[in-house]
Structure 1
Amino acid sequence: MAVSGISVFGRPSETQAAESHSLDDLGFPRDYVTLDLETTGLYPSRSAITEIGAVRVRGGRIVDQFQELVNPRRPIPRQITTLTGISNAMVADRDSIDQVLPRFISWLADASSAELTEPIVGHNVSFDLRFLDYNARHVVGSGFPCTDYDTMQISRVLFPAHQHHRLADLIVRFGIAENEEHRALSDAIQTQQCFEWMHQYTAQHRDLAHVDWRAVPAKSSTPIIHQQLMLR
């Protein structure tokens, strides 16, 4: 599935360079999609997605958003409902991932062009990408290739003296919010705010070290590339 030479997952086709998205002089993308998922558990083969939330960012600012609850076709564990507030009743009349994922894929493709590819930004983003990749294989018959940036990894590099780097820790440390809601859209928005906060911090503290990035292929067979921050 492709639109104007761009895969529906926001990664360029083989004829295009993976670095075609807009980067500033520090290597941070200015145009990207921040996403977050809520799930019934930790493992894609044994758990299901209950919510997808994402925001599209242009020039560092949110310009569009996506949010849908998903019927996981299985009971939501009580501890998950306690954490997220998503109950079995809330998703009983919602579409399954078979219907929701193609809509999300179409939303990702809406703003794509032959000159633009959108990286994915997330907090501990490999967790979300494992679920998306697993479900994409079953729903549309192919994986979820993309380039990603992980706010957890960036925080660990910029603030090694801090022991904790959960989203809940970052939003308090950066003065963004007091609590993490554990809902997909609000977490995606807070992740975007953390990403931009650390971007600004890096720009204002160039004396820290030389900023660089390394591309690390994911262990999965899908061409997922983790862009990891380094300070030299």
Structure 2
Amino acid sequence: MSIYVKNGVLHVSGVQNKIRGKGQEWPDFISDYTMLDIETTGLNPYRDHVTEMGAVKVHNNKVVAEFSQLVVYPRSNRVPSFITKLNGITEELLLKEGIPVKEAMTAFRSFIGADIIIGYNVNFDLNFLYDLAKKFHLPELNNDYVDVLRLARVYYPMQHNRLLDCIQRAGIAQVEQHHGLADSLDTKKVYDDFRQHFTPELLQEAQGRLKNMDLLHAELEAWELGFRNPVNNKKIAFAPEVEMDRAQAAQMVNNMNGLAQTGVKPDTDYLIMSDDGFFSKTNPETLKAKEYNRAGSKVKRLSESYFLNMLDEWARS
């Protein structure tokens, strides 16, 4: 049994199928790819949904095809007001111009094909798109990818590195459009600017920032874990029915500057439950957590899949 991160991807023996099977990130400058960007109603792929898909297909560094599509769902198409303020997308616009999500995702998956994917903070986009491809039984979205944000963090160290910051610094534009196709085109310009100015040393530094570590060997230093460590200072209990090896899961938490508990307690931060147990109303751990919460605690229940994908996001960051 083992739990480790290799080239930015989390590996957990026995439960790898619970982690999104996304491709491998590798910072590099390539000439053939699909640059993509999506708009969503929020940050959580388990709760929020895609409103717009945009992409450009690039061959020999030139745009040869474009994709842009608003998306509509069979149930709710509500768009939070702060999202509408950001990009102008409303429920009325989606209902008027959007196409059904299955049709949109099928076309988008076909557009991407087997290309290497590039995007800005592209892991965010890939989470939503991976889940949609899986939901509609489309080819798994396991394409390898390049994240332009990782390049930006090396090129502009110790600075804010939003897409907006990069396009302003490079003189590309003064505002970010927050629309899939427009942001894809702007990100391509940022990527081309980096291509022109990166040194071999900078590229090597970006590639060296992919995480590689054994999460069971020993306690890890703060600099190794980074500031996005999702279990930092968290007290975490694992329900008996989880499929992970609980002893190893506890050791991992302790090595990552968390505190593993033998059972749910009033001061527990996260209670990790099996995917089935998470939805059970009679699960003893759930009942205990709810009892503590009624008394003023703030125990948060997480499914095993959610927890593992949360760790994978950290591994890829």
Aligned to 1:156: 153
SS at match of 1:64: strand
Change (3 A) 1:96 1:209: closer
In the alignment, the residues of structure 2 paired with residue 138 and residue 209 of structure 1 have an alpha-carbon distance, to the nearest angstrom, of: 39
Q: Provide Cα deviations, 1:128-158, integer angstroms capped at 9, x if missing partner.
A: 0000011111112663111111111111012
Matches within 5 A, 1:1-232: 27-72=28-73, 73-74=75-76, 75-93=78-96, 94-109=98-113, 117-140=114-137, 143-161=140-158, 163-202=159-198, 205-206=199-200, 211=204, 213=207
Q: Provide Cα deviations, 1:13-62, integer angstroms capped at 9, x if missing partner.
A: xxxxx99xxx9xx9411101100000011111111100000001111111
Which residue identity is paired with 1:83?
Answer: L
Deviates more, 1:97-106 or 1:122-131: 97-106
Contact 2:106 2:138 in 1 (8 A): no
SS at match of 1:146: coil
Deviates more, 1:170-179 or 1:89-98: 89-98
In the alignment, the residues of structure 2 paired with residue 27 and residue 106 of structure 1 have an alpha-carbon distance, to the nearest angstrom, of: 24
- Provide structure 2 residue ranges, at least 5 long, that are not aligned to the other structure: 1-22, 213-307, 310-314
Higher helix share: 2
In the alignment, the residues of structure 2 paired with residue 196 and residue 119 of structure 1 have an alpha-carbon distance, to the nearest angstrom, of: 16
**Alpha-carbon shift at residue 211 of structure 1 (Å):** 3.0
When the two chains are superposed, the root-mean-square deviation of aligned CA atoms in Å is 3.0
SS at match of 2:47: coil
Corresponding residue pairs, total: 192
In the alignment, the residues of structure 2 paired with residue 136 and residue 36 of structure 1 have an alpha-carbon distance, to the nearest angstrom, of: 16
Change (3 A) 1:210 1:194: closer
Structure 1 runs (4+) deviating above 4 angstroms are 214-217
Aligned to 2:3: none
Q: Scaled by the length of structure 2, what TM-score is found?
A: 0.55
SS at match of 2:118: strand
Aligned to 2:14: none
Aligned to 1:11: none
Q: Percent identity?
A: 32
In the alignment, the residues of structure 2 paired with residue 42 and residue 91 of structure 1 have an alpha-carbon distance, to the nearest angstrom, of: 19
Contact 1:149 1:227 in 2 (8 A): no
- Provide structure 1 residue ranges, at least 5 long, that are not aligned to the other structure: 1-17, 110-116, 221-225
Aligned to 1:15: none
Q: Scaled by the length of structure 1, what TM-score is found?
A: 0.73
Greater Cα radius of gyration, structure 1 or 2: 2
In the alignment, the residues of structure 2 paired with residue 189 and residue 160 of structure 1 have an alpha-carbon distance, to the nearest angstrom, of: 24
In the alignment, the residues of structure 1 paired with residue 93 and residue 204 of structure 2 have an alpha-carbon distance, to the nearest angstrom, of: 45
Aligned to 2:266: none
Change (3 A) 1:141 1:53: closer
Contact 1:216 1:227 in 2 (8 A): yes
